[in-house]
């Protein structure tokens, strides 16, 4: 829902986005929701602020959260049962946020991927330090396997920030970009907010995500609703969330 104000639309909730593709709602399997109670609280809040469906994406990080496809789906089915019992009106599916570490490509080659959407999407997180290896080559291998990579929060990696050529290099190779809504609200600091604004201005963002680890992150997102770049992103005509 939105209202026209000061020559631009000010949104009152996130119903225009409708489908979220990045969150940590499954209980107890990463640094997201620690309990079923918190998961239900998060889902009630997501329903309240306008989401109809979410594809939740627990971390898959070899050294920290080595979640397998079976573990993720097991937690998903458990959560879906409780959602039905509680009468929460939001659809939940699961994929993962795959960290590009030394085991990443091997896992995908072994059939460990949980793709989502109509185009076999995979949400991929880069290392927060500049990778020593060729990330272009790994992303190309992922594409050859039939998956379409979405780069999670490209605005948050310090080695990419302010380097438009590197962002363009990824775009030239067919990568899609998912922005964290809370980067626009300033939750990750000023450098991430500036990079987020630049990517929105350049029309490079295809997906908006909550990346919610707890209810607090969802409440924080409200600050973005009055943000000029949030409005610009929603009116860019480039967002693919609703097509998932």
Residues that bind Fe ion (CB under 5 A): 97, 211
Count other Cβ atoms within 10 Å, centred on residue 114: 21
* CB nearer to Fe ion: pick between 1 and 219: 219
Smaller CB separation from Fe ion, 107 or 214: 214
Instruction: Select 58 or 231, whichever has its Cβ closest to Fe ion.
Output: 58
Closest distance of CB 105 from Fe ion, Å: 20
As measured in angstroms, the least distance from the Cβ of 1 to Fe ion is 26
Q: Please, what is the minimum distance in Å from the beta carbon of residue 22 to Fe ion?
A: 6
What is the DSSP secondary structure assignment for residue 116, as one 8-state letter?
B
Query: Are the beta carbons of 95 and 55 closer than 8 angstroms?
Result: yes
- 3-state SS string for 32-69: CCCCHHHHHHHHHHHHHCCCCEEEECCEEECCCECCCH
Dist. CA 4–CA 10, nearest whole Å:
6
Question: What is the C-alpha to C-alpha distance for residues 78 and 115, in angstroms, rounded to an integer?
Answer: 20
Which residue lies nearer to Fe ion by CB, 20 or 97?
Answer: 97
| Residue 140 Cβ vs Fe ion, minimum distance, rounded to whole Å | 23
């Amino acid at each position: 829902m939105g209202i026209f104000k000061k020559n631009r639309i000010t949104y009152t909730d996130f119903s225009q986005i409708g489908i979220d593709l990045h969150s940590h709602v499954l209980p107890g399997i990463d640094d997201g929701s620690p309990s079923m109670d918190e998961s239900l609280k998060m889902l009630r809040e997501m329903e309240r602020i306008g989401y109809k469906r979410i594809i939740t994406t627990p971390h898959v990080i070899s050294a920290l959260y080595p979640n397998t496809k079976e573990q993720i789906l097991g937690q998903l089915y458990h959560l879906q049962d409780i959602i039905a019992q509680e009468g929460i009106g939001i659809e939940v599916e699961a994929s993962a946020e795959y960290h590009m570490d030394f085991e990443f490509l091997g896992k995908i080659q072994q059939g460990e991927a949980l793709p989502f959407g109509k185009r076999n999407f995979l949400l991929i997180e880069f290392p927060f330090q500049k990778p020593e290896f060729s990330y272009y080559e790994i992303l190309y291998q992922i594409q050859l396997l039939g998956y379409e990579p979405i780069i999670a929060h490209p605005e948050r990696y310090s080695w990419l920030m302010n380097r438009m050529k590197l962002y363009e290099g990824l775009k030239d190779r067919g990568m899609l970009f998912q922005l964290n809504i809370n980067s626009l609200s300033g939750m990750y600091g000023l450098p991430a907010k500036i990079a987020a604004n630049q990517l929105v201005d350049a029309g490079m963002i295809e997906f908006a995500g909550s990346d919610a680890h707890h209810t607090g992150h969802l409440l924080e997102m409200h600050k973005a609703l009055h943000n000029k770049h949030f409005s610009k992103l929603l009116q860019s005509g480039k967002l693919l969330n609703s097509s998932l």
